[in-house]
Amino acid sequence: VFIGEVGAGHGLPCGGGNYNCPGQIVVAGHTEAVERCMALAVEAGGRAVRLSVTAPFHSRLLAPAGERLAEALRGVTLREAQVPVVSNVTADYVTQPDEIRRLLIEQVSRPVLWEASIRRMIADGVDTFIEVGPSRTLTGFLRKIDKGVRALYVEDPASLGRVLDSLGRVC
């Protein structure tokens, strides 16, 4: 509610950039509008943390970057996905090249529906998730979304070995 009110009330672009998990929405947009949204959240008893980012990612302010991505993707041949991919733009499965291309472009300037994407997979029977990278941020989000799912992470060769061993016991 705050997000829409801030953007409309000040004439500055501002909106949800990431819907990560219960209790966490990342706001993206014009700096002044984001700061106002943060103040409103705190006034309402919430918590607001300013992230150090270089651009208003996943907001309509990045539409020109999406256009540049579209130009770059024109020369790329995409094939039908052999395994359906859950788009963070729609939280739906996609396999068709034209749809994948369109959603890749849209995700530059549209919110990341992380929680909805994860809930979709859980509803469809996915019970194990593996995060690969230097932090466990997404693993933390998973636990806030559904404590019953198995959340594993790989951050180095040793943890990869542990995950593979763990999966070997399941498969």
Residues 6+ apart with CB under 8 A from 59: 13, 14, 15, 17, 28, 29, 109
Task: Provide the β-strand partners of residue 25.
Answer: 19
Helix %, strand %, coil % of the chain (to 5): 45, 15, 35
pLDDT band at 168 (very low <50, low <70, confident <90, very high): confident
Stronger pLDDT, 170 or 6, i.e. the higher one: 170
Three-class SS state of 29? strand
Question: For the segment 87-97, what is each residue's pLDDT rounded down to a tens digit?
Answer: 999 999 999 99
User: For residues 131 and 114, is the Cβ–Cβ distance under 8 A?
Assistant: no
9 or 81: which carries more pLDDT confidence? 81
Beta strands in the chain (DSSP E): 14-21, 24-29, 85-86, 93-94, 128-132, 150-154
C-alpha span between 12 and 27 (Å, rounded): 13
Asked if residue 170 has pLDDT above 80, the reply is: no
Residue 1 has pLDDT above 70, yes or no: no
**What pLDDT was estimated at residue 43?**
87
CB atoms within 10 A of CB 38: 18
Q: What is the pLDDT of residue 130?
A: 96
Residues 116 and 154: their CA atoms lie apart, in Å, by: 23
| Prediction pTM value | 0.87
- Across the strands, what pairs with 14? 29
Higher pLDDT, 14 or 18: 18
Which one, of 34, 104, 30, 100, lies nearest residue 60 by Cα? Answer: 30
- What is the chain's mean pLDDT, rounded? 91
Q: pLDDT tens digits, residue range 41-54?
A: 888 888 899 999 99
Per residue in 101-159, pLDDT (tens digit) is 999 999 999 999 999 999 999 999 999 999 999 999 999 999 999 999 999 999 999 99
